[in-house]
Amino acid sequence: MICPDCGHDNIPGMDDCEKCGMDLRSLDVPHAKQGIQRTILEDPVRDLKPLPPLVVSPDETVANAVRLMKEHNMGGVFVVEKGRLVGILTERDLLLKVAGKPLALDKTPIWNLMTREPVVLRPDDNIASALNGMSVGRYRHLPILEDGQLTGFVSVRGILRYIAEKLA
Of 120 and 166, the structure prediction assigns the larger pLDDT to 120
Average pLDDT rounded to a whole number, residues 62-69: 96
Asked if the structure places residue 18 within a domain, the reply is no
Residue type, 138: R
Average pLDDT rounded to a whole number, residues 62-72: 97
28 has pLDDT over 70: no
Count how many domains the chain has: 1
Quick check: 3 and 22 in contact, CB under 8 A? Answer: yes
Average pLDDT rounded to a whole number, residues 66-83: 96
Asked if the structure places residue 29 within a domain, the reply is no
Tell me: the pLDDT tens digits for 99-118?
888 889 999 999 999 999 99
Asked if the structure places residue 7 within a domain, the reply is no
The domain that holds 102 is classified in CATH as 3.10.580.10
Q: What's this model's pTM, rounded to 2 decimal places?
A: 0.76
